[in-house]
Chain A
């Protein structure tokens, strides 16, 4: 089974800090995604990447950036964390073969104080 690993399960950061959320997949898949999950809002797409050094904005990119230097690693960056970025962050990868679909990581619950 494909594994998508998010390096931290829980994080607490201070307002104004620069925050890195790391996501690693163990297969050679190109497409990776960062979602944010909030109660009553479902999952909303922040950024995605179709290949190394490639990135595209999702629906809510403001306040975030991403880095994809290697195919297996996709990092989400909060340049200056704010309390309204307190949320659950989920990373996913997409593949067409052998089974079309998406695999999600376990999530990082970020609290900004």
Chain B
């Protein structure tokens, strides 16, 4: 069975600082990987996804993530955060060919001025 671990439940950073949100997964088959963002009182919005090809994936709002198959990781990064990036971030995985998404526990990103 697949599982996803987000290593930090909360990450506080200062505005304009870089940030990395960590995600590790376990799966015995090839996977697709996703990062979602949830702003307060809203649903989930797709930030980026890895399906195939380049292991460095660029998403919306200046975020990017790198798929590392040997370390089974898909860490999310942004070089300079803004107050508006305050949200909860979810990493998710699905088997290639299947459609069920398995989510991590979420990481709450707080940006301090």
User: What is A's interface to B at a CB cutoff of 8 Å?
Assistant: 31, 33, 35, 40-45, 48, 50, 58, 90, 92, 94, 100-102, 104-107
A43's contact among B9, B42, B46, B103, by CB below 8 Å, is which? B103
B90's contact among A40, A42, A94, by CB below 8 Å, is which? A42
Whether B100 pairs with A102 at a CB distance below 8 angstroms is no
Whether B42 pairs with A45 at a CB distance below 8 angstroms is no
Whether B105 pairs with A45 at a CB distance below 8 angstroms is no
Whether A33 pairs with B101 at a CB distance below 8 angstroms is yes
Q: Which residues on B sit within 8 Å (CB–CB) of A94?
A: 99
Whether B43 pairs with A40 at a CB distance below 8 angstroms is no
Whether B43 pairs with A42 at a CB distance below 8 angstroms is no
Q: Which residues on A sit within 8 Å (CB–CB) of B34?
A: 101-102
B105's contact among A35, A42, A92, A106, by CB below 8 Å, is which? A42
The docked-state distance in angstroms from the alpha carbon of A106 to that of B46 is 13
The docked-state distance in angstroms from the alpha carbon of A33 to that of B9 is 25
The docked-state distance in angstroms from the alpha carbon of A106 to that of B101 is 17
Known: A40-B9, A43-B90, A100-B51. A90 touches B44 (CB 8 A): yes
